[in-house]
Amino acid sequence: MTIAFAVHGGAGHLSRAGLSAARRQEIHEGLAEATAAGRDVLAAGGSALDAVVAAVVLLEECTHFNAGRGAVLNADGHAEHDASVMRGHDRAAGAVGAVVGVRNPIRLAQSILLQTEHVLMVGEGASRLADELGLERADPSWFIVPRRHRQWQRTQAISLDHDTTGTVGAVARDRRGRLAAATSTGGMTNKLPGRVGDSACIGAGTWADGHCAVSATGHGERFIEANVAARIANLIELSGLSLEAACARVVHQELRGDGGVIAVAADGVPSLPFNSGGMLRGILAEDGQIYTGIWDELVPTPAPT
């Protein structure tokens, strides 16, 4: 079967004037590198689950995105992370919420899926589990980069920054025809400590079953209320809509907030709709070329060597 793969790096009000040419190039390269990582796993016969985790780990390590190192800061000036993974053939899932000090939250979510009887772990309990499983930790200060600290300082006069982009995710179809999705984020700038968004909520920010795999990005509360990712799958299964039609209905008609999704259907057909000013995204085309985009257009982008 043909492999399929896509990533996102967040959606929101992305001003062309607000992104320098240098930063645009770095974003395109980061998306291309993550897409290439997933492609390489799939091309070697690896699972969809391993592919989406490999890509999201790279995005968590890239400070241009709101996940892992470089995530936004909460009201106390700390980085708290949410992440989740799901595989389609058995609907197994793993997720973490409001976790601190775990270098790659998506790896912890994957470990919860593979090594525990649970689905969602949060806070200190999730951090202790990471230690028990031997996952790499990092001092909380390691996650804070100057750009995010300045952003946090600017938002102290307001309650929340809803314009933050950078939540990351990936969807994949492997050679066995199995699907998987993964999502990781730092949430909203100046959020209340302990706030958990859709990226940790199976069905809202992440979903995979036999019909499609979906990873979402946007205003998390609105995605939770609409159960966006699972809603798309339900429209395919119960209403007979195509992936493209289901995604369009949810993102452009039903969702009461800004954002978008990346999704791949059981036949490998992708869909990447968004209703916001832009969505950072990368996709593996049928000819093997990687394309990335920030606004409407997708451009061919070689992965960094």
Residues annotated as part of the active site: 167
Instruction: Report the candidate in 197, 234, 246 with the shortest Cα–Cα distance to residue 218.
Output: 197
**143: DSSP letter:** G
List, in order, residues 6 or more apart from 227 with CB less than 8 Å away: 203, 204
Phi, psi angles (nearest 5°) of residue 11: -130, 155
List, in order, residues 6 or more apart from 235 with CB less than 8 Å away: 241, 245, 246, 249, 250
- Whether the CB-CB separation of 218 and 259 falls below 8 Å is answered with yes
Count of CB atoms situated within 10 Å of the CB of 7? 34
> Within 13 Å of residue 275, how many CA atoms lie on the same side as its CB?
17
List, in order, residues 6 or more apart from 151 with CB less than 8 Å away: 72, 73, 161, 164, 189
Distance CA 143, CA 100 (A): 9
- Whether the CB-CB separation of 85 and 119 falls below 8 Å is answered with no
- Whether the CB-CB separation of 264 and 173 falls below 8 Å is answered with yes
Tell me the H-state helices in the chain.
21-43, 48-61, 105-115, 123-132, 146-154, 220-226, 228-239, 243-249
What letter represents residue 79's amino acid?
Answer: A
